[in-house]
Structure 1
């Protein structure tokens, strides 16, 4: 069992990474159904929360079924971060997470997200402000460093642990790498195996198959894995990894019926949470991922991204189930979507 403060997670938990404009309540719901052990809100601007920005406030929404659940905040001002942690407390999440990892220019260049990696003393002060402002467990998600000359995650881990964080998630790239190249887990392993470190360490970056998850678990000794891009359109990745960890065997790929069922649930939750116009529009980005691997699917996909009502979309999904009934998907490694966080500042 892995403990984050008073939160108990199963042995080797799988966390859904917070992804801006992706990991909203509808997406989180289908990931939870398919084995995610813990998840987080999209990241929320501390300044936006304090200004009562509608989009920032909306990101605080979550369902009881999502627990344990963390709200992730970001910012570069100590007072604002502390105040936003108090606001987060009002909706009773299980923890508050601080984003020191977003690499996008309009966040990092304003001294927030991964931009804080250039000033570790500031990172410590910001984190301490949040720890002192809330009774909830505080965790941090960050990167290896700003660039290859400042891969200072070992120092960061010790100093943040010393001021009271309860877990640390590390993405195996620097800020300058953005999402390019391969994630380097070597330093993540060094942090985990540092005898001074006694908080859970979660690794993040490029996990795209059950085999890789088990390989990295064994090689680097991390307490769990945070999965982001691999879950987009394929929430089954969580249960597939769990099954492989337990048995060394692969689960069969989800059937057409299972894929459409999850896609439909995602759609209906998106419609309910965001409203008919936005809910249907924002769902369009997900159809290609859910239906990937089906032959000659372009015609149906074109329909799905032009339909304007849930009823029409449901009818097309029914057609797909009928058309491809009995189709057997080939087991294959998940292709990581070229996801770049937009990180809008609200």
Structure 2
């Protein structure tokens, strides 16, 4: 009898371990106190977490809303940070007796964080495609586990090995040219099987592509550029992501993307957005059709998608101190959401 009880106990222990919470991603990984917009969206991605109960260890932070989507692997939490101080706390997910504690941090905001000096018409802007500019660290040319592993400078569609270190080492050269700002083509992770060099099929909005370097290296590049009175403009993409992003591989909901069940390509007719006589059909195809098949079109009319993207821009500005954003495929994005994005960014950074 005792042996049976022991075996049963071992089985129960194994089962509880087998079905324990697994959180794969927390986005954003951290935030700041004393932001102008006191609402924070935290998106959790993991195995079967959608119906967990949520609690917060900090008494200064209120849970405004918990959203379970169609896909049980996503959970969105909206927090009220109006009374929150900088510090660490835990987000706890509970299902029955099972609990998962997710550590989180609100960082102390720099006193001059709002005083970002944006670029303007007086600046001389120099465009850099990071993969094509300079290879400062050959050790990151090929990263184990990433889909594209070819480096070939004779192939126009292959990666050539340029990176953040290569740019950093040549800031004096750029300064001598007389430029006052550099605009980098997208540097976020682009883990696509081919033609990932250009960066416009993002597979992680919060992570610098490891073949370019790290988030910290990019932050250091911005600081070094500023020390030489060079501004940095970041290229961002709201319209779409790469088809290997987990948003598309494991879709949060059917309305996360436009034409999610039936690939439809955009007409590329950007004049339809401003023509008062255009048909609703033409406008829909132009703005909601996919740019190409490997770049699924994000549905900005889904409020969670819009909040995720707007918040992502603010995160990069606050984290790195960049001086501007070039918004890719701007005419194809939702006009009202773009207007909201502009307002929220300038509310947070008046001189951006």
- Both structures adopt the same fold (TM-score exceeding 0.5): no
In our comparison, the structure showing a higher alpha carbon Rg is 2
Instruction: Choose between structure 1 and 2 for higher RCO, CA contacts under 8 A separated by at least 6 residues.
Output: 1
More strand by share: 2
- TM-score with structure 2 length normalisation? 0.26
